[in-house]
Homo-oligomer: A and B are copies of this chain.
Amino acid sequence: MNNLLDTTTDVLLMGPGPSCVFPEVYEALSRPTLGHLDPRFIKIMDGIKELQQQVMQTKHALTIPMSGTGSAGMETMFVNLVEPGDKVLICINGVFGGRMADVAGRLGAEVDTVDFEWGTPVEVDKVAEALKEKTYKMVAVVHAETSTGVANPVEEIGLLVKEHGALYLVDAVTSLGGMPVKVDEWGIDALYSGTQKCLSCPPGIAPVTFSDAAVAKLKSRPGKVPNWYLDLTMIVNYWEGAKRAYHHTAPINMLYAFYQALFNVVEEGLDNVFARHAAMHRKLVEGLAGIGLEMLVDSEYRLPMLNAVKIPDGVDEAAVRSKLLNEYNIEIGPGLGPLAGKIWRIGLMGHTAREENVNRVVTALGNVLE
């Protein structure tokens, strides 16, 4: 019997995630497993909550990691907050906005959408119009649209949502740890992220935060949350208080990794981390211009950590990606949906966002395209 793990190798992960993992996070992953009720593990849980609050810039008490990947964070947000018939407005300018509409719809929400061309941002005026026409219980938007490389105006939309009196729901899977995500200042009521983007931890954990208003909606539900695994009314009893009531066995080693990743980000300092992402993004755009490549998104709306690069006419985009992976050990991502075949997606997330990596991908792409 062959052990297939022998085929794993150190790839420079410059796609839309997973990103390169911090060396300390790999070490954390393989520390001895503790029981989920061991007092030492409970201390680590408390440490995670504190660091997660710092990275999310929030004081929300309900700020915890869920036991699944980023998409489980999306499911957690909607399944806990949506009751059948709730009117929900969702802004869509890429795959992940669309996914939110699908998730909320399955849970019985009455979903309306405001849609925008992929590669352009959500327009605040159009959201304002929609909010004038109907009363919504919730408004949801993706901060960093991983499928297009666009940054959405989360702060501005937040002001509108507050005036309207709705709960404000945000996807920060790709933005958290790579650009400011100010949960409290921006009036965000529920937000989720993943570990495999700018936190540079393998996929498997979904950090979430819920405001007091969101928790009040959750607690006022007439029935049970229709998802036992993600039911926050029970999960909080494990993450808070003296009793630490067992709900499900926490993913201990992934939580070690998540703790270490948060630790690294906070130790470097949020402002330094954001500045590094921005600088590497500028360097990448410059380097790509030097080999004749253009960006999809207008400069003012570009994400630093997810760069949508136009594929030149006549280039076999999949062959380029294969060559990068097989000959240069670099992974970049393809376009999705209407952008398939039109863009590559180059990630500069967390530990990936370093000068040597920018140089390496630009040189390699230049060689392959020659």
Of all chain B residues, which has the CB nearest A249? B203
Q: Is A159 an interface residue (CB 8 A)?
A: no
- Assembly stoichiometry (copies): 2
In the complex the two chains form, is A1's CB within 8 Å of B266's CB? Answer: yes
Q: Which of B35, B107, B248, B336 contacts A11 (CB 8 A)?
A: B35
- Tell me if A4 is interfacial: C-beta within 8 Å of chain B: yes
Contact A225 B8 (CB under 8 A): no
One digit per residue, 1 when the CB lies within 8 angstroms of any chain B CB and 0 when it does not, for chain A 170-203 equals: 0000000000000000000000001010000011
Given contacts A5-B256, A40-B8, contact A251 B106 (CB under 8 A): no
Q: 6 closest pairs, A vs B, by CB?
A: A204-B251, A71-B248, A202-B253, A75-B229, A26-B30, A30-B30
Residue from B3, B103, B204, B263 within 8 A of A228 (CB atoms)? B103
Task: Tell me whether B18 and A252 are in contact (CB under 8 A).
Answer: yes
Q: Does A10 sit at the interface, judged by CB under 8 A?
A: yes
Interface assignment of A70: CB less than 8 Å from any CB of chain B: yes
Task: Point out the residues of chain B lying under 8 angstroms from A134, CB to CB.
Answer: none
A135 contacts partner chain B, Cβ-Cβ < 8 Å: no
Contact call A227/B227, Cβ cutoff below 8 A? yes
Q: A69-B249, A224-B106, A249-B196 are in contact. Are A35 and B8 (CB under 8 A)?
A: no
User: Is the pair B29, A8 in contact by a Cβ cutoff of 8 Å?
Assistant: no
A115 CB → nearest B CB, Å: 19
A203–B251 CB distance below 8 A:
yes
Q: Tell whether A85 is near chain B: CB-to-CB under 8 Å.
A: no
Question: Measured between C-beta atoms, what is the minimum distance from A17 to chain B in Å?
Answer: 6
Residues in B whose Cβ lies below 8 Å from that of A21: 32-33
Q: How far is the CA of A259 from the CA of B4 in the complex (A)?
A: 9
Size bin of chain A's contact surface:
35 or more
Whether the pair B40, A7 counts as a contact (CB closer than 8 A) is yes
A325 close to chain B: CB less than 8 A = yes
In the complex, which residues 29-49 of chain A have their Cβ closer than 8 Å to any Cβ of chain B?
29-36, 38, 40, 43-44, 47
Residues 256-280 of chain A, each 1 if its beta carbon lies under 8 Å from chain B, else 0: 1101100100110000000000000
Known: A68-B68, A71-B228. A10 touches B26 (CB 8 A): no
Closest-by-CB residue of B relative to A260 is: B5
Contact of A36 (CB < 8 Å), options: B5, B18, B256: B18
> Given that A202-B251, A249-B18 are contacting pairs, would A1 and B40 also be in contact in the complex, using a CB cutoff of 8 Å?
no
Do B18 and A228 have beta carbons less than 8 Å apart?
Answer: no
Q: Does A102 contact B (CB under 8 A)?
A: yes
The reply on A331 being an interface residue by CB < 8 A is yes
CB distance from A332 to the nearest CB of B (A): 10
Which residues of B sit under 8 angstroms from A297, Cβ to Cβ?
none
A254 near B256 with CB under 8 A, answer no
Q: Which of B10, B69, B226 contacts A107 (CB 8 A)?
A: B226
Partner of A13, one of B13, B35, B250: B35
A67 on the B face (CB < 8 A): yes
20 contacts between A and B (CB under 8 A): A4-B43, A5-B31, A5-B44, A8-B40, A8-B44, A9-B32, A13-B35, A33-B196, A36-B203, A38-B331, A68-B68, A69-B249, A71-B249, A75-B228, A75-B229, A105-B224, A202-B252, A246-B336, A251-B254, A253-B257
Find the B residue at minimum CB distance from A6.
B31
Q: Which residues of B contact A67 (CB under 8 A)?
A: 68-69, 72, 204
**Nearest chain B residue, comparing its CB with the CB of A264:** B3
> How long is the Cα–Cα vector from A135 to B118 in the complex, in angstroms?
51
* Complex partner residue of A204 from B17, B40, B254, CB under 8 angstroms: B254
